[in-house]
Chains A and B, each alone.
Chain A
Amino acid sequence: MWKGLSASGNNWMSVSANHNSAEESQPQPAHFPVLRQHPTGVFQYIVNYTWTFIRGFWPILAGAAVSDNIRAYGEWIGLAVLAIACLSALLQYWKFTYQVTEEALVIRRGVLERERITIAFERIQVVNLEQSIWQRAFGVMSIKVDTAGTSGAEVEIAALKVQHAKALKSILSSGGAKVLRDQENEVSEPVSDSTQLIAISWSRLFKVGLTQNHLRSALIALGSVVALAEPLEGILTNWLSDVPMYTWLLLKFLWVLLIPFFTIGVVVIGMLVSLIGAVLRYYKLQVSVQAEGLELSGGLLKKFEFKIPLHKVQMLEGSSGVLQRLIGFETFRIHQARAQSEAAQGGVSMAIPGLEWDHAERINAILFPPVSGEAEEIRPHKMLLIRMLIFRSALILPLLVWGYGWMQIVGGIWGVWLSMAAIKQYHAVQLTVYEEQLCMRTGWLRKKHIRTELRKAQRVVLTESWLMRRRSLAHARIYTAAGPVAVRYIPKKTATKLRDISLYKAEATNRPWM
């Protein structure tokens, strides 16, 4: 465990001319076949390349679109880019091989610089299967493996036949417990001891869609409309000039009457967008528990199957907005150790929406040891509230001092709202320490609670600034492999006690924690 540096021991081997001879010189048992992806992987690579090209060069592309000289050769440039993308995709496909041995997945890839990645099964945090809509037409899936190594080793096999992908997933996520004899025999028969935990029905899906954050959805819709309006400007002005003149005159005086219509429109659009988003993401979502771990699957256009061994779950995060609390729903998110700190950077984190209270308790009971022992509640000192108020008033102050009359009124109302929110948020912060668990609650309108096991701690940080030291306060942060649980402005004595107990729990056990 010490020697295997990050999860994957990356062996960089630069091979000059003859790849084959170099590969054969590697000690390689014959009975583990070296496999290639399904040919549709090439398409996947072409799409990826084109996309990265567009994302990387879009300012240049936009400039080129304006200049007439370059536009004349536009097709040629486009064709050249496409040709390069195709060629490199073919090469990449040809040079990508994988091999499943007894305890590791071995991947060789790279065109100019050959790379050999060995991922031991026990090091794998999460296996994620994805199938986009065009992949479904070919019956292939892509498989993603996250190892949470320090070097950010996340490996993707872009295209595999569905049954192969499923078989590979069951091998990878079993932690090497069972060895693949014959891939064809292991067609995705559900394991007998799997119990289904949650299956989202249509009505529940509908409710989930209706209780999303509509404001955010409306903003997203508005943003995309604005982004679209830019290229369509010519058409829009044309269209607007057809509107008779007196409409504008009427609008000048009657715009106040339009506000309610506009508001209702925004609300309806927001609701529609969140409904569609929820259906796309959570269609046929299923959560089941098996001996090897938790499995989630679902999705409408882009299907996914996500599997994580139980002991590799680091954190369970529950959150609920006002609307969701109204019908007693909660969204849960499962956090595992991951290389990237942000989920947006390709890291996988799974959300389970629309859980009722007993569901939530069941998930919690499966993932973490039962809540026992006496619970100790830790609350932050008043200084947290004071600091929040100072920061927020600093935000408002310029508006009050330099603004005009109406700005001052708006600023005043906003300030009152912010301070009220600060007080409510301050009172909502609460850390509960059980014998084995930590539970951190925050939030007022959007409530959030994070649960983790004390023994998952891998780093404990106490911070005290000069001002805090005079009141003997401290911040405590307990880092797990998936992120920190932080309580700020608690009494120093409590903070040291928290550190001592979490260190004790982490050091006294030899059970696997990730």
Chain B
Amino acid sequence: MSLFSNTSLRIDALPSLVEEEFEGLPLRYRTLRMAVYSIVMLLVFAALGVLMWFEWQEVNSFRWGVWLAFGAAIALGVMWALEEVKGFPLRGVVVREHDLSYRSGFFKRETVTVPFNRVQHSEIAQGPLSRAFNVCTLKLYTAGHSGANLRVPGMDVERAKRLRQQLDERVSQS
């Protein structure tokens, strides 16, 4: 317990996380996401095409199940596209003096904040695809429950490394 106390704290005077302060992710990451999107969609529709071809060979028409699958694939494609196009500008990080926040999602928007002094360790992960685009995933782990507690995918590698270094310095000071 410290002797110093500061009781009269006004909530309005607290530093607040401002939505406008979020910095977007590099556009390279959007290209990567688009590539993944088109590959997955290509595969889905190719599979559908095969299914329809067999169906046509067999009964010379399409039964309702095929139309259902077709509709579901299109709906999925449209929703996902909306998420990518509308959602990408919303993806972003804010690094403040004491914490890091990550916002993402169009249909379900999520803002995760982790204070630096609660971080146990950090990790920079990079798969072959993200290496090609020179981006990486920054993961911050806190204590207790397993799993990364804050994942920021699609960060610029240089920026992630700098951030991590800052984190290290902060911790060695305290």
Contacts and interface: CB of A to CB of B under 8 A. Distances in A.
A373 B117 CA distance: 26
A499 B168 contact: no
A334 interface: no
A338 B144 CA distance: 5
B22 interface: no
A140 B82 CA distance: 64
B113 A503 contact: yes
A507 B115 contact: yes
A499 B121 contact: no
A466 B118 CA distance: 31
A496 interface: yes
B121 A2 contact: yes
Contact of B168 (A2, A373, A466): A2
B141 interface: yes
Contacts of A435: 7, 9
A469 B86 CA distance: 15
Interface stretch (B43-51, B103-111, B130-138): B103-111
A98 B129 CA distance: 45
Contact-residue bracket for chain A: 35 or more
A503 B100 CA distance: 11
A473 to B, nearest CB: 12
A5 interface: yes
A6 interface: yes
Contacts, number: 118
Contacts of A459: 112-114, 118, 142, 149-150
B146 A460 contact: no
Contacts of B55: none
B174 A466 contact: no
B107 A466 contact: yes
A469 B116 CA distance: 29
Chain B interface secondary structure, helix, strand, loop or mixed? mixed
Contacts of A341: 145-146
A67 interface: no
Contact of B143 (A466, A481, A500, A503): A481
B11 interface: yes
A339 B144 contact: yes
A293 interface: no
A148 interface: yes
B118 A460 contact: no
A499 B113 contact: yes
Contact of B141 (A1, A150, A501, A513): A150
A362 interface: no
B15 A458 contact: no
A460 B113 contact: yes
12 contacts: A150-B143, A435-B7, A458-B115, A459-B118, A479-B142, A479-B149, A483-B145, A499-B113, A500-B15, A506-B117, A507-B116, A511-B2
Given A6-B120, A338-B144, A458-B149, 20 more contacts: A2-B121, A2-B171, A150-B120, A152-B146, A340-B146, A435-B7, A458-B114, A461-B111, A461-B113, A462-B111, A463-B109, A463-B110, A465-B107, A466-B108, A482-B144, A496-B16, A500-B11, A506-B118, A507-B99, A514-B143
Interface of A: 1-2, 5-6, 148-152, 314, 337-341, 372-373, 435, 457-466, 469, 479-483, 496-497, 499-501, 503-504, 506-507, 510-511, 513-514
| 6 nearest CB pairs, A to B | A481-B144, A458-B118, A2-B171, A507-B98, A458-B142, A337-B144
